[in-house]
A = this chain, B = another copy of it.
Amino acid sequence: MIQELKDNYGHFFEEELLKEINQVGTFKEVTEGFHLIKPGSYIKSMPLIISGAIKILREDNDGDELLLYFLEKGDTCAMTLSCCLGHHKSEIKAIAETDAKLVMIPVEKMEEWTVKYKSWRNFVFDSYHKRLIEAIETIDSIAFLKMDNRLLKYLKDKTKVKSDSIINNTHQEIAYDLHTSRVVISRLLKKLENDGKVKLNRNNIEVIHI
């Protein structure tokens, strides 16, 4: 395990800390679609992502949802961070976007390492910063972009985290992520296809060039 840890976190953390992580962390593999966090649940350990991608969603009281952002290797979930440290409930939902490997860190260690390791402090601060920026970029998209451009951005982000120009999703699934209706997505995708930007198949969208 230490090798994958080193590859992904070696340039953040000093040797000493890597060893500790390796000792106290639990290695975890999840398959695509696995629900890592449900809203309202309490969280007792924090994930460091080794490989794959996790999607973070916001869900409102009516069960409507909206994609916030993706986490990738080297990332951690800032909401989990703050939930752990502040003992708040989860405000979000996390689902494995691809098969993924994680190292779970028990909460107790986090405080300890914050005092002990400068690199850990920086990592935590940096994670918060990145997530805040991501959240604000999500706000940008919703507030300043129209649905056609939001969809384009979504497709682009998705191909990036999947490292694959083919997206295996139904229009309905995309509509859930963007919090709109299936018909709207079908309509806009068709337009993108006519513009030569994507190729549509059943359960499958090929992103040609965006």
Binding site for B on A (CB under 8 A): 58, 60, 62, 64, 66, 68, 78-79, 81-82, 85-86, 88, 91-92, 114-115, 121-122, 124-126, 128-129, 131-133, 135-136, 138-140, 142-144, 179
Give chain B nearest CB distance to A150 CB in angstroms.
11
Are B132 and A58 interface neighbours, CB within 8 A? no
Copies in the complex: 2
A147 to B133, CA, bound (A): 25
Cβ–Cβ contact A136 & B82, under 8 A: no
Min CB gap A143→B, angstroms: 5
A78 vs B132: C-alpha distance when bound (angstroms)? 9
CB distance from A87 to the nearest CB of B (A): 11
**Consensus secondary structure, chain A interface:** helix
Residue pair A136, B91 in contact (C-beta under 8 Å): yes
Nearest chain B CB to A167 CB, angstrom units: 22
**Residues from chain B with Cβ under 8 Å of A138 in the complex:** 139
The chain B residue sitting closest to A122, CB to CB, is B85
Chain B residues within an 8 Å CB radius of A129: 82, 85-86, 88
- Cross-interface CB contact of A139 among B114, B132, B142, cutoff 8 Å: B142
What is the bound-complex CA distance between A125 and B85, given in angstroms? Answer: 8
Q: Count chain B CB atoms within 10 A of each CB in A82, A126, A142 and give the residue with the most.
A: A82
A128 to B132, alpha carbons, bound, how many Å?
Answer: 8
Contact B132 A82 (CB under 8 A): yes
